[in-house]
């Protein structure tokens, strides 16, 4: 999972750098370039927010599944070893 996170982070950084460089060397006026840059950064922020929200949901689901497994094994153990 850590490798996936590192890969995703590297991809996002590379995409951001590529977008910024592409916009800055574009033959548009400064105001148009700044507007494009703002739109691109808003889209990037929205995409990052979606990815992070999804990742947080995955972590919560995993934690809940581990809690459920712990409860299951605790119940199985107590039923198979009555006092």
Domain boundary assignment for the chain = 2-80
**Looking at residues 39-53, what average pLDDT do you find?**
87
Burial 31-46 (b: 16+ CB within 10 A, else e): eeeeebeeebeeeeee
pLDDT, average across residues 13-26: 82
Rg value, the chain, Cα? 23
Query: Between 5 and 69, where is the model more confident?
Result: 69
Cβ neighbours of residue 48 under 8 Å, at least 6 residues apart? 12
Model pTM?
0.44
Question: To the nearest whole number, what is the mean pLDDT of the chain?
Answer: 81
Q: From CA 42, how far away is CA 45, in angstroms rounded?
A: 5
Band of residue 73 on the pLDDT scale cut at 50, 70, 90? confident
């Amino acid at each position: 999972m850590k490798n996936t996170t590192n890969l995703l982070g590297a991809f996002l950084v590379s995409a951001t750098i590529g977008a910024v460089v592409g916009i800055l060397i574009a033959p548009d006026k400064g105001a148009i370039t700044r507007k494009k840059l703002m739109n691109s950064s808003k889209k990037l922020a929205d995409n990052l927010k979606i990815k992070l929200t999804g990742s947080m949901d995955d972590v919560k689901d995993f934690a809940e599944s581990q809690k459920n497994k712990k409860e299951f094994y605790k119940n199985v153990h107590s039923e198979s070893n009555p006092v």
